[in-house]
Structure 1
Amino acid sequence: MKLFSHLYTRMIQWSRHPRAIWFLAINSFVESVFWPIPPDVMLAPMCLAQPQRAWRYALVAALASALGGLAGYILGFWLFETAVLPAIELLGYQEKFELIKLWFEHWDVWVVFLAGFSPIPYKLFTVTAGMMQMALLPFMLASIISRSARFFLVAALMRWGGARMEHKLRQYIDWIGWSCVVAAIAAYLIFKG
C-alpha cells in the first residue's frame, strides 16, 4: 500500500509553498508543547526542494522549537496541576511521567539535551522541566543546542544528499513509513505493559 509515497509527494508540494517557512515555524513551536508531528517531516522535504535555503530552514525550526520548549516549560511551571496532570492521567502516561521525573533527578539538564536531539517526545521533557522547576538558563541552552544539532543535521543530510537522496527517499518511503508504524505500535505495547 503506497500511502506514504502519496504523503511524501504532498509534503514536497507543501515545502514549495510560498508560506512554507511559516508552516515549519508553527509546527516546530507547537510540537515542543503538545503537537505529535515532528518538524523533520516538513524540514527534510523543504531542504530537498530548496537546498540553497537548508541552513535557514534549520535555523527557523531550531529557534521555533526552542521557543516552543520555553512555552512547554512555562506550562509545566505554572499550570501543571490544572492543565498538564489531567492530560497525563487522561492519556494514561502516569508511569512514563514518573520515569521521566527519575531521569531528571539522575541526569538533570542532560536529559533535556538527549530529548531535544533524539526522536523521544521532546514535549514531555519541556513540561516536566518546568514542573520540576529546573533552572531556566541551562534548560534553554540544552534546548537550543540539541534542537539546532538535530535540525542542522537533517538539513545537512538533505542538502548534501540532494536529488540522489530525494530519489532514495522516494524509492523507500513506503517501507520506511510502515516500519515506523510497526515500531510505534511495538513501543506502545512495550511501554503500556
Structure 2
Amino acid sequence: MINSKHMLPAITLASFLESTVVPIPIEALLVPLMQKRRDQLWLIALMTTVGCLLGAMLGYLIGYFLFDIMRDLIMSYMTTEKQFAAFQERMASDGFWFIFSTGVTPIPLQLATLTAGVTAYSIPLFILATAMGRVIRYFGLAILVYYFGDKTEELVRKYKWSASALALCIVALIWWLTLN
C-alpha cells in the first residue's frame, strides 16, 4: 500500500471506516505511512481528514435516522421526553466542545457522531468541531513526522496518554473560559 497509486484513496477509506465502524485508532496505520511517504505527508493528513469527515457525516445520519425510527421504543424503555429534552439542551449548549474533544482525544469519534445525530445537533457546527479536532490530530501527527521523522512512532507510543490528557484539559479549560 505504501508505494501504491491507491495509497491516498486507501487511507481515505481507512479513515472513513475508522470514524464509522472500526473502533481502532488510525494512528497505528497513519504514522508509519507518513514516515515512509514524507513526500506526501500533508496530502496524507488532508485525505485522512476528508475520510474522517465523510465517515462522521454518515455516523451523524445513522444517529439521526436510527433515533427517528426507534424513538418510541427508546422513550418507552430508556428515557423520558423530559430527560431527552434536557439532554438535547445540554448538547445544544456544550455539544461543540464534546464533539471537538472526541476529535483530539482517544475518545471514540463514533460516540460524538451518533450523539450529534440523535440530538439533531447543528450540522455546520458538527462539521466545524469535527474538522477542527481531526485537523489538529492528523496534521499534528504530520508535524511530528516532519520534525522527528522515524522517532515519531516511539514518541507517540511513549506520550500518547499524557498528550491526550493535556489536550482534554486544554479543551475543558477553553470550554470553561467560554462559559464565564
> The residue matched to 1:119 in structure 2 has which SS?
coil
Of 63-72 and 21-30, more deviation after overlay is shown by: 21-30
Tell me the CA shift for residue 47 of structure 1. 0.8
| 2:19 matches 1:32 | yes
* Cα-to-partner distance string for 1:32-91 (whole Å, 9 max, x where unaligned): 1121122212111111001121111000001110111011000000123658xx9xxxxx
Matched residues, number: 147
Contact residue 54 and residue 155 of structure 1 kept, 8 A: yes
Matched, 1:138 2:125: yes
Task: Measure how far apart 1:23 and its partner are.
Answer: 2.1
In structure 2, the residue corresponding to 1:108 is in which secondary structure? Answer: helix
Q: Superposed, which structure 2 residues align to 1:71-86 within 5 Å?
A: 71-80=58-67
Q: Show the counterpart of 2:108.
A: 121
List per-residue Cα deviations over 1:11-46 (Å, max 9, x = no partner). xxx434442222211111111112112221211111
Name whichever of 16-25 and 28-37 sits farther off.
16-25
Report the counterpart of residue 52 of structure 1 in structure 2.
Answer: 39
Q: Which amino acid aligns with 2:101?
A: L
Provide the rounded CA distance (Å) in 2 between the counterparts of 1:16 and 1:39: 18
**Cα 1:110–1:165 shift into 2, 3 Å:** closer
User: How many angstroms apart in 2 are the aligned matches of 1:165 and 1:116?
Assistant: 20
Question: 1-side partners of 2:65 and 2:45: how far apart?
Answer: 30
Please name the residue that 1:11 is paired with. none
- Is the counterpart of residue 19 in structure 1 residue 6 in structure 2? yes
Percent identity of the aligned residues?
28
Q: Which range is displaced more, 105-114 or 121-130?
A: 105-114
TM-score between the two structures when normalised by the length of structure 1: 0.65
Take 1:68 and 1:163, find their aligned partners in 2: how far apart are those partners? 29
Shift of 1:105: 6.2
Contact 2:31–2:152, Cα closer than 8 Å, also in 1: no
TM-score by length of 2: 0.70
Alpha carbons 1:15, 1:45 under 8 Å: kept: no
Cα displacement (A) at 1:104: 3.2
| Alignment match of 1:162 (pick from 127, 146, 149) | 149
Measure the CA separation in 2 of the matches of 1:165 and 1:128.
Answer: 33
Of residues 22, 25, 28, the one that matches 1:41 is 28
Q: CA RMSD in A?
A: 3.0
TM superposition shift of 1:145? 1.1
| Structure 1: stretches of 5+ with no match in the other structure | 1-13, 87-97, 180-193
Given the alignment, which residue of 121, 134, 147 partners 2:134?
147
1-structure distance, mates of 2:27, 2:44: 11
